Amino acid sequence: MPTANSYSKYAMRGVLAGLMTGVAVCVIFFLLFPTIEGIITSLLREQLLRQLPPDKVEEVLKNAESTINLILTIAPVIQIIQYLILGAIFGVLQGFYSLRFGLSDVKSAIASGITYVVILHVLPLIIVALALREVFEVLVSGGEYLVYMTVLVPGTLFTTSLVLVSLGGGSFSKFVEAEPRQT
């Protein structure tokens, strides 16, 4: 019977994988920053044109510029926190796959990564493409590489990180499997 302690080991692996993924995604974010800013402005303009007269759209965009810049400034920190939380959740899922179905650590890490990509990246993209075609077209107008960078890269990084943490003996296993200090 799996214990809470066995799941906490997997959660910690997920947190480490999430941290590595969050840092890598932040680097990608900074590389794509101008493109992301342009896409956000395009999406906002597209939505405003449907609701406001054209002469008001530029005024609203100018007022929203400082808010957009603030959001983009704090986005990297938020992304790291998000990946830490998602890492813990999908680390526990890895534990479930491993303990419940008897999968090896590597196979359960890959299964968790595939689940991550499908639930958090592929399905939302399909829903946006079907339900909000114009929003999807604006996303793709930034270049198809941007869609791949936002869909495939984080999932691949997370899966790879989770596999590495699961495989890695040495410092990873010492950190993940360390007993709490008694005070």
Q: What is the C-alpha separation between 13 and 109, in angstroms, rounded?
A: 10
pTM greater than 0.75 (yes/no): yes
Residue 103: both structure tokens together: 């999968």
Find the helix or strand (DSSP H, E) in which 81 lies.
Answer: helix 54-101
**Using 50, 70 and 90 to split pLDDT, how confident is the model at 55?**
confident
pLDDT at 64: 85
- Candidates 79, 100, 97; CA nearest to 153 is 79
Q: What is the C-alpha separation between 93 and 163, in angstroms, rounded?
A: 13
**Structural contact between residues 88 and 7, judged by C-beta atoms closer than 8 angstroms:** no
- Candidates 65, 35, 34, 32; CA nearest to 48 is 65
pLDDT digit string, tens, across residues 18-52 = 999 999 988 887 887 677 777 778 778 887 888 88
Return the domain boundaries, the chain.
Answer: 4-173
Q: What is the C-alpha separation between 28 and 43, in angstroms, rounded?
A: 21
User: What are the DSSP E strand ranges found in the chain?
Assistant: none
Identity of the highest mean pLDDT range in 6-10, 108-112, 138-142: 108-112
Q: Report the alpha-carbon angle 7-4-113, nearest 5.
A: 15
Residue 2: pLDDT over 80: no
Other beta carbons within 10 Å of 106 = 14
- DSSP-derived letter for residue 121 is I
Q: What is the C-alpha separation between 6 and 28, in angstroms, rounded?
A: 33
pLDDT at 4: 56
